[in-house]
C-alpha cells in the first residue's frame, strides 16, 4: 500500500494569532498573511486600534478574511490570562501563534505584578501567552510558534542577569547614561531566543515547532513614547532602516513556507538560519530561564 504523504504546509485556511499587529511589521505581516488566505486573530491593547486593523485587512481582501480582535494589556498578567481564556473559548483551532509585540522603556517602571516593564512585555508576555495556548496549538497536529527577536540581543553580552531580573542595575546611575535601557532591551531579545530554544526542546514529537527571527532595523513607530531624545535617535536610525514590509518578510516566510516544515528551535534573518550570539547558544541557560519564567508567571500575586 502506498504510504500517505503529508500535505504540504500553507498558511491558506490556517488560523494565525498575532500580537503587535496594529502597527509596524506586525501589521504588514497580518496584511500579507491575510492576502495569502489566512484567518487572523489580532491581540491588541486598544479596541479602536484593533478595529482599525480589521478595517484595513478587510479592505485589502475584499472582506474575505475572518479577523478576530482580542484585547490584552501585555504588561499585565491578569489581562493576558483573561485574553487567553477568551481566545480558547472563541478559537477551536490555532495553527500559528506569532509573538511579535515588543517595547523598550528608557525609565525603569514596574508593572502591577512587580515586573520591570520591558521584561514583562518582551519576554514574560509571550512566555505566558504561549504556555496558556499550547494545548490548543498541539490539537492542530501541525502548528508553528514564531517569536520576534532582534539583532539587539547581542547587546546583552553577559547574558541574562538572573540576580537582577527587576533591572535595578540597568537603570541605576551611571548605567543609565551608558545606555542601560538599550542593554535591558537586548537582554529581553536574548530571552526570546533562549525561550524559543527551550520551547522547541519541550515540543519535540508534538508536531508543533518554534522558531524566532530578527526583522532587521525597520522603519516603525517603535520607541516613540520615551521622550524627545529617543524620538530624535529613531529619526536618525530611520535613514538606515528597511521598510516594514521587508522587516515582516521573514515572519511571513516562517508562517507560510513549506520548505521549513519540521525545523524548530532556530534563529532566522532574511529567510535564512543565522547564528545568534554565544550567550544565546546555551541549552542549560535556556532551561534555567524557563524555570525562572514559570516562577514569575505562576507564583506572582496578581491583581
The position carrying cell 504588514 is 28
Angstrom distance (rounded) from CA 161 to CA 38: 39
User: Could you tell me if 261 and 9 are in contact, meaning their C-beta atoms sit under 8 angstroms apart?
Assistant: yes
3-class secondary structure for the chain? CCCCCCCCCCCCCCEEEEECCCCHHHHHHHHHHHHCCCEEEEEECCHHHHHHHHHHHHHHHCCCCCEEEEECCCCCHHHHHHHHHHHHHHCCCCCEEEECCCCCCCCCCECCCCCEHHHHHHHHHHHHHHHHHHHHHHCCCCEEEEEECCHHHHHCCCCCCHHHCCCCCCCCCCHHHHCHHHHHHHHHHHHHHHHHHHHHHHCCCCCEEEEEEECCCECCCCCCCCCHHHHHHHHHHHCCCECHHHHCHHHHHHHHCCCCCCCCCCEEECCEECCCCHHHCCHHHHHHHHHHHHHHHHCCCCC
Is 185 a known active-site residue? yes
Alpha-carbon span 255 to 211, nearest angstrom = 10
Selecting among 15, 185, 267, 268, the annotated active-site residue is 185
**What residues act catalytically?**
185
Amino acid at each position: 500500500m502506498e504510504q500517505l504523504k503529508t500535505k504540504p504546509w500553507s498558511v491558506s485556511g490556517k488560523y494565525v494569532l498575532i500580537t503587535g499587529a496594529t502597527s509596524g511589521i506586525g501589521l504588514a505581516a497580518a496584511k500579507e498573511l491575510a492576502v495569502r488566505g489566512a484567518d487572523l486573530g489580532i491581540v491588541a491593547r486598544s479596541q479602536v486600534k484593533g478595529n482599525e486593523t480589521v478595517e484595513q485587512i478587510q479592505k485589502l481582501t475584499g472582506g474575505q478574511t475572518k479577523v478576530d480582535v482580542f484585547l490584552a494589556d501585555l504588561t499585565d498578567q491578569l489581562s493576558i490570562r483573561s485574553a487567553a481564556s477568551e481566545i480558547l473559548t472563541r478559537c477551536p483551532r490555532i495553527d500559528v501563534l506569532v509573538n511579535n509585540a515588543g517595547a523598550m522603556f528608557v525609565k525603569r517602571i514596574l508593572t502591577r505584578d512587580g515586573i520591570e516593564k520591558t521584561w514583562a512585555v518582551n519576554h514574560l508576555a509571550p512566555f505566558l501567552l504561549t504556555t496558556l495556548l499550547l494545548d490548543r496549538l498541539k490539537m492542530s497536529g501541525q502548528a508553528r510558534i514564531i517569536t520576534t527577536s532582534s539583532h539587539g540581543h547581542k547587546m546583552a553580552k553577559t547574558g541574562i542577569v538572573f540576580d537582577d531580573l527587576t533591572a535595578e542595575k540597568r537603570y541605576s546611575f551611571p548605567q543609565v547614561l551608558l545606555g542601560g535601557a538599550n542593554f535591558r532591551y537586548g537582554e529581553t531579545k536574548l530571552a526570546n531566543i533562549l525561550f524559543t530554544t527551550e520551547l522547541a526542546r519541550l515540543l519535540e514529537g508534538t508536531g508543533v515547532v518554534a522558531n524566532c527571527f530578527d526583522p532587521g532595523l525597520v522603519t516603525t513607530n517603535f520607541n516613540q513614547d520615551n521622550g524627545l531624545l529617543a524620538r530624535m535617535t529613531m529619526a536618525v536610525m530611520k535613514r538606515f532602516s528597511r521598510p516594514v514590509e521587508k522587516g515582516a518578510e521573514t515572519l511571513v516566510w516562517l508562517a507560510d513556507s513549506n520548505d521549513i516544515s519540521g525545523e524548530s528551535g532556530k534563529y532566522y534573518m532574511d529567510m535564512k538560519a543565522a547564528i545568534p550570539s554565544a550567550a544565546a547558544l546555551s541549552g542549560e541557560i535556556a532551561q534555567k530561564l524557563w524555570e525562572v519564567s514559570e516562577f514569575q508567571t505562576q507564583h506572582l500575586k496578581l491583581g
